[in-house]
Amino acid sequence: MGAIGANRRRALGESAMTSRLLMPFRTAGAGPAPDAEIAGSTRPTPILDLAHPRVAALVTRVRRAADERGATTDRERLRTAHGIIAATVRPVYSVEDLRRVSRTLRLGRGSCSQRMAVLEAVARSLDVPTRVRGLLVDGAFWYPRFPKLRPFVPEEVLLAWPEFLLDDSWVPVAELFANREETEPAPADAFTNAGAETLFEAVARTTVDWDAPAACAGSAPCDLSAHLRADLGRFTSRDELFARHGQTLCLPARTLAEPLLGRWSAGAGAGAGVGAGADAGARETSPTSSSAA
């Protein structure tokens, strides 16, 4: 064991060893085959608590805003929902992947994963089936956000990437905005995970893809396939994904990290004032608020 541990330290470095200790035991091969067809669902789950009054209020707001904009298709309604969520749920680095959507709305802040769960809840409430793709992403993808805390960045992050059944085809969240009007200006730059913009906001502005599409394969920033360690396949819900593979951090690590990271504004950077982010996080924004967090 000593020789194996020494070799692993030399190969991965002490920071990788430290971050591995923060993670639960996980076997990547335990999931379904990546190409397995999963039907998806519109049912509520413990995370997607569709019947909660806060979730219902958000759905009502989305319907009203969509009608005002003349949005008539499910894709257009989900785009509207995405914009409302981005404006009212402040991005933070929360590590509680099992948080109920209603609690995220009550707090008015959430991680990319939690805000995507909110979008899934809206979709299911609009009778749009959803499912998720389980992605194990290299922790180094988040290094630009935590330059001084790299030893504490998990070696790999479990990401629930939503998909929506639109016009009998499964559409990943990154493709909800794929059919932009030709009159809209092309994105000035692609997503690099190095600034204030998070994955949740990026999908509305530019290409984000984990499968190296021909349009941006290679070194282009929109090609994120180099950061993908394993594709765990599709799951009917994020609840099912996390039940099978666990969350990114083990329970002791989540317990210690959540009070700080759960209020730390995403994009603030490790060198920024954490106190300011925590103070701002104390505000609770309702899903009917029109102010951007």
Task: With H, G, I as helix, E, B as strand and everything else as coil, classify residue 172.
Answer: strand
Go through 58-94 and write b for each residue having 16 or more CB atoms within 10 A of its CB, e for each that does not: bbebbbebbeeeebeebbebbbbbbebbbebbbbbbb
Please report whether residue 7 resides in a domain: no
Non-local CB neighbours of 150 within 8 Å, separated by 6+ positions: 15, 143
Identify the bridge partners of residue 90 per DSSP, sorted by sequence position: 109
Total domains, the chain: 1
Please report whether residue 20 resides in a domain: no
Please report whether residue 293 resides in a domain: no
Amino acid type, 210? W
Please report whether residue 114 resides in a domain: yes
Q: 87: domain range?
A: 32-179+189-281
Please report whether residue 129 resides in a domain: yes
pLDDT (tens, 9 = 90+) of the chain, 293 residues, equals 444 333 333 333 434 433 554 555 454 444 444 556 788 999 999 999 999 999 999 999 999 999 999 999 999 999 999 999 999 999 987 778 899 999 999 999 998 899 999 999 999 999 999 999 999 888 777 676 766 666 666 778 888 999 999 999 999 998 898 765 544 444 556 666 666 778 888 888 877 777 765 445 444 446 677 778 889 999 999 999 999 998 877 666 666 666 666 565 665 433 333 333 333 333 333 333 333 32
Task: Tell me if the pTM is above 0.85.
Answer: no
Please report whether residue 26 resides in a domain: no
So what's the pLDDT on residue 248?
72
So what's the pLDDT on residue 85?
96
What distances in angstroms separate CA 209 from CA 203, 221, 224, one per listed residue? Answer: 9, 10, 6
Please report whether residue 95 resides in a domain: yes
Please report whether residue 269 resides in a domain: yes
